[in-house]
Chain A
Amino acid sequence: MMLSNTILWAISIPLLGSIGILITRKIPNLRETVTLTTAVILFLVVSTLVPTVMAGERPSVTLLELVPGLNINFTVEPLGMLFGLVASGLWIINSIYSIGYMRGHNEKNQTRFYFFFAIALASAVGVAFAGNMLTLFFCYEILTLCTFPLVTHSGKPEAVRSGRIYLGILLGTSVGLQLVAIIWTWNVTGTLDFTEGGVLEGKVSATVISVLLFLYMYGIGKAALMPIHRWLPAAMVAPTPVSALLHAVAVVKAGVFTVLKVIIYIFGVDTLACISEDNWLMYIAAFTLIASSCVALTKDNLKARLAYSTISQLSYIVLGAALANGLGIMGGSMHIAMHAFGKITLFFCAGAIMVASHKTEISEMDGLGKVMPITFIAFLIGSLSVIGLPPLGGSWSKWYLMLSSADAGYTIFLLVFMVSSLLNIAYLMPIVARGFFSNPKPSKNSHDDHSENIGFWHGLQIGTIKEAPPFCLLAMTLSSLGCIVLFVYADYIYQLLAPITGLK
């Protein structure tokens, strides 16, 4: 009973926070305090569930019966625990960053921004703790809708256009494919509960499983498999904190998280392994992985490059799930956390650069590392983690993913992972190198000499150093430290996930 209350609190806290944000809208400092407090409380509440889940229990709470036999149910299992921790933990850091960014960038309608952000977090936690596919679908759709005002925050025509792509693809795939898959599953199995070993085994033919797999995988648009990845670059029109937490962590991870959930608990890893002879999903994921890395190489806009990098990294997770063995699930699940910390750091840096020096294109960033050393060091750490080099978190998940492909006997995917890592180096490292080793070109940007924009909220200036606002710096320091901490403490994640992967 206690624990079911905890689950309900975890979902209601951000909702209550959103109301608090509305109430305190006239006093920005108080409003931001509400956001930060809500984030911290949420993280603490989510954390209290960890020992129970580690001990093998699955706390659960059922709310309403929607259709006879179908409930709104929340059940915490290891994978959801991990996603819940990552999303709520990074919300704290991201809130710190948001304060620096939104004020430094003089954004309008900040109350609306914080309000929908809190609701997005509530739905992300809902996705994490969903106990059946219908509940997950609910939260998934709400997550799409409440992030729409964040994507179109500026209200400019290009934001509206991007908003259309965002909503069109995400709603179109989820209603058009995922919902059909869910109702079909319900129709043949009579259950949508997430069940260990899956619910489809023995109920349907291999062909139907393949079709369902297609409907689910392309119905989960948030996982950004090609060719339905276009919404993610489009979403980059949003303010950077949105891109950082939502489009590198909460929303996209909700997508791959759903992929993992569906494969583990609806299809069942073993069921999927049986049909893996013609498992096209692996090849699509591998293709997306390589192709989007290549696209990332061609992008000069930093956020666009990071967006394509995210698409590629998401496919790591999908590929891990598609390999359908314990190691793949382990690597994929771990990558949710590892990539989250790495990529959020990179986005923090991109936003910091935008606020402090008004630069968005990589080609303009020559010598910027000398002006913004902290930002560029954080960028270096984030990059190394995304590439997967020790001593950073990202190395573990790649390790397990590569083990998994070896284990499944697909040497080709070993190669894919390796080529992709090289591509990661090729599109991330030049940015750092450019920042530290190139000399700045004579500036055409009149913003550079604007010194009136310097102040506590707008940036830090010491001698030749002209850094981002302190709040931004604090956030990126925390998240890059997180990358290092994750390397050392990856074992905890392993222990948490071990029961669902069947690994010791």
Chain B
Amino acid sequence: MLSGLSSHLPVILVVLPLIAAPICVIFRSASLAWLIALIASWLCLGISIFLLEQVISNGPISYLLGNWPAPWGIEYKVDVLSAFVMLIVTSIGAIVMVFAPKSVQIEIPSDRTYLFYTMYLLTFAGLLGITITADAFNLFVFLEISSLSSYVLISLGAQRNALTAALRYLILGTVGATFYIIGVGLMYQMTGTLNISDLAERMPDVASTKTILIAVGFITVGIGLKLGLFPLHVWLPNAYAYAPSVVTAFLAATATKVAVYALLRVYFSIFGINLFSALPIAEVLLILGLIAIISMSTVAIYQNNAKRLLAYSSVAQVGYMVIGIGMLTITGLTATILHLFNHAVIKGALFLALAAVFYRIKSVKVEDMAGLGKAMPYTMAAFVAAGFSLIGVPSTVGFISKWYLILGALDKDWWLVAILIVVSSLLAVIYFWKVIEYAYFKNRPDGATEIRDVPLSMLIPIWVMVGSNFYFGLNTNFTISAAMKAATSLIGDAP
């Protein structure tokens, strides 16, 4: 077991960024704030790697806040799934922070830069809190911390549209959080507890009551709003398109993943697999997922703004994840959990590349990207490579996700599902290729200013992200075994 300082690591993981945030406000210096955020992110990455190792070799870690025993006090619990998602959040955060300063410099007014880092740290802490807490109400608190701060992050976008995008997200996000807390309230009313494992114990007795079924509905819609589950995704494209580039990269790679995590937690760790025989949730998720992967990929084809194009693609990718949940098999859940990681590195790489594009040409409109293949060869090569991963070309992480998802569908003899998944990845080829053709086969407009590729401090993080698309696409031991372990423990949670 853990001893000494290391036994407090679970809480340090959350407290560290939470304390770092107000420190940024005190100093009000952009570069100092950046340094603090950078250090906090990397420390958290270190902690989550350590925790993941511990969990894989020694089993789940439980941490009691203030030493109050579990049902009364708040419990933090790290198992393979939560450690895996923590690793996603912290590694994306760490890489994005290395990339951030230059991009932030031109996109966010200098007098507000320290606020950006403050808000980033709060979001970061909130997301980590969601993954680590074992308390349904505490989860709501962290959900709100991360959401409120991400509204601010989005509203920092340079265009005025960012404000309306943030407002829309604020309204829908608040509705989502409220729905979630109503669901938790109903559960509390029936069981008298908020601790997740305690809830799971008492749930079988009351599982078939109307109140619990209604609670499930509220929670599903509430988290569905957060994760951009079709058709609750309407806030997402604008929020991603108008947020500062770095914010988009960070949120796209982490926020929806954490929401999927919360959904998995509630479904499998609280209600257990029996829930799905009481309510047609799996069917609903499956159908919504299928509609998402086809319709949203189609919509993506018609976007002129590359960020918005990728945002719609994200909604489609969330579709893949919920399809995996809808399968209710270990293979299906493995596909979902794998895709959490894989999609994070795919979208992280793509949005960082777009951030680099914006840094140079002050636009991410597809037609403005004409001729960039020559002008910014390294950035665009990264974009192409990450795009291959999005499509699911072999040797990339995208291929591995798709492999498991299709395998899961074939396991259940769901032919139509397998075919639709394939069709959707072909749609991805189309929307992605649109950008490629502009970048490589069109020339820069006459009279456009000469541009060079972005500096190394941006290229390296981009290529680290792209590299991990290929590294984890070829060396899959770690991701697959972690995802399988997590999936097995979720299904095994069923009484």
- Interface secondary structure of B, over-half rule: helix
Establish whether residues B475 and A183, one from each chain, have CB atoms under 8 Å apart when the complex forms.
no
Q: How far is the CB of B474 from chain A (nearest CB, A)?
A: 5
Interface residues of B in 350-401 (CB under 8 A from A): 388, 391-395, 400
Establish whether residues B403 and A67, one from each chain, have CB atoms under 8 Å apart when the complex forms.
yes
Establish whether residues B407 and A145, one from each chain, have CB atoms under 8 Å apart when the complex forms.
no
Establish whether residues A167 and B410, one from each chain, have CB atoms under 8 Å apart when the complex forms.
no
> Which of chain A's residues have a CB closer than 8 A to the CB of B402?
179
Interface residues of A in 84-116 (CB under 8 A from B): none
Is B27 an interface residue, CB under 8 A from the partner? no
> Which of chain B's residues have a CB closer than 8 A to the CB of A462?
none
Give B185-210 as 1s and 0s: 1 = Cβ < 8 Å from A's Cβ atoms.
00000000000000000000000000
Q: In the docked arrangement, what's the CA distance between A179 and B403, Å?
A: 9
Establish whether residues A145 and B393, one from each chain, have CB atoms under 8 Å apart when the complex forms.
yes
Closest B residue to A68 by beta carbon equals B480
Is A155 an interface residue, CB under 8 A from the partner? yes
Establish whether residues A183 and B407, one from each chain, have CB atoms under 8 Å apart when the complex forms.
yes
Establish whether residues A66 and B441, one from each chain, have CB atoms under 8 Å apart when the complex forms.
no
Of the residues B395, B423, B476, contact of A176 by C-beta under 8 Å: B423
Interface residues of A in 64-78 (CB under 8 A from B): 64-68, 72
Interface residues of A in 170-225 (CB under 8 A from B): 171-172, 175-176, 179-180, 183-184, 186-187
Is A138 an interface residue, CB under 8 A from the partner? yes
Q: How far is the CB of B341 from chain A (nearest CB, A)?
A: 15
Scoring A64, A72, A152, A179 by chain B CB atoms within 10 A of each residue's CB, the highest score goes to A179
> Which of chain B's residues have a CB closer than 8 A to the CB of A187?
407, 410-411
Closest B residue to A63 by beta carbon equals B474
Q: How many residues from A make CB contacts under 8 Å with B?
A: 28
Is A141 an interface residue, CB under 8 A from the partner? yes
If A160-B437, A167-B429 touch, whether A183 touches B393 (CB-CB below 8 Å) is no
Is B297 an interface residue, CB under 8 A from the partner? no
Of the residues B388, B406, B429, B437, contact of A183 by C-beta under 8 Å: B406
Give A126-156 as 1s and 0s: 1 = Cβ < 8 Å from B's Cβ atoms.
0000000010011001100100000010010
Is A434 an interface residue, CB under 8 A from the partner? no
Closest B residue to A159 by beta carbon equals B441
Establish whether residues A67 and B400, one from each chain, have CB atoms under 8 Å apart when the complex forms.
yes
Is B464 an interface residue, CB under 8 A from the partner? no
Across the A-B interface, the 8 shortest Cβ-Cβ residue pairs: A138-B394, A187-B410, A160-B441, A183-B406, A176-B422, A141-B394, A64-B474, A183-B407
If A67-B476, A145-B388, A167-B429 touch, whether A138 touches B395 (CB-CB below 8 Å) is yes
> Which of chain B's residues have a CB closer than 8 A to the CB of A167?
429, 433
Contacts A171-B429, A175-B425 aside, 19 further interface pairs with beta carbons under 8 A come to A64-B474, A65-B477, A66-B400, A67-B400, A67-B404, A67-B476, A67-B480, A134-B394, A141-B393, A145-B388, A155-B441, A160-B437, A167-B433, A175-B429, A176-B423, A179-B402, A180-B418, A187-B407, A187-B410
Is A164 an interface residue, CB under 8 A from the partner? yes
Is B299 an interface residue, CB under 8 A from the partner? no
> Which of chain A's residues have a CB closer than 8 A to the CB of B480?
67-68
- Interface secondary structure of A, over-half rule: helix
Closest A residue to B419 by beta carbon equals A180
If A68-B480, A141-B393, A167-B433 touch, whether A186 touches B407 (CB-CB below 8 Å) is yes
Is B460 an interface residue, CB under 8 A from the partner? no
If A67-B476, A155-B441 touch, whether A175 touches B422 (CB-CB below 8 Å) is yes
If A155-B441, A164-B433, A167-B433 touch, whether A176 touches B403 (CB-CB below 8 Å) is no
If A67-B400, A145-B393 touch, whether A171 touches B426 (CB-CB below 8 Å) is yes
Interface residue tally on B, bucketed by range:
20 to 34
Q: Which residues in B have some Cβ–Cβ distance to A below 8 Å?
A: 388, 391-395, 400, 402-404, 406-407, 410-411, 418-419, 422-423, 425-426, 429, 433, 437, 440-441, 474-477, 480
Query: Can you list 23 A-B pairs with a CB-CB distance of less than 8 A?
Result: A65-B476, A65-B477, A67-B400, A67-B476, A68-B480, A137-B394, A142-B394, A142-B395, A145-B388, A145-B393, A155-B440, A171-B429, A175-B391, A175-B426, A176-B423, A176-B426, A179-B422, A180-B422, A183-B403, A183-B406, A183-B407, A184-B410, A187-B411
Q: How far is the CB of A294 from chain B (nearest CB, A)?
A: 31
Q: In the docked arrangement, what's the CA distance between A138 and B419, Å?
A: 20
Closest A residue to B406 by beta carbon equals A183
Q: In the docked arrangement, what's the CA distance between A137 and B403, Å?
A: 13
Q: In the docked arrangement, what's the CA distance between A141 and B465, Å?
A: 22
> Which of chain B's residues have a CB closer than 8 A to the CB of A180?
406, 418-419, 422
Scoring A164, A171, A175 by chain B CB atoms within 10 A of each residue's CB, the highest score goes to A175
Q: How far is the CB of A260 from chain B (nearest CB, A)?
A: 21
Q: In the docked arrangement, what's the CA distance between A137 and B395, Å?
A: 10
If A67-B476, A175-B425, A180-B418 touch, whether A152 touches B441 (CB-CB below 8 Å) is yes
> Which of chain B's residues have a CB closer than 8 A to the CB of A66?
400, 474, 476
Closest A residue to B428 by beta carbon equals A175
Q: How far is the CB of B403 from chain A (nearest CB, A)?
A: 6
Q: In the docked arrangement, what's the CA distance between A454 and B103, Å?
A: 54
> Which of chain B's residues have a CB closer than 8 A to the CB of A134?
394
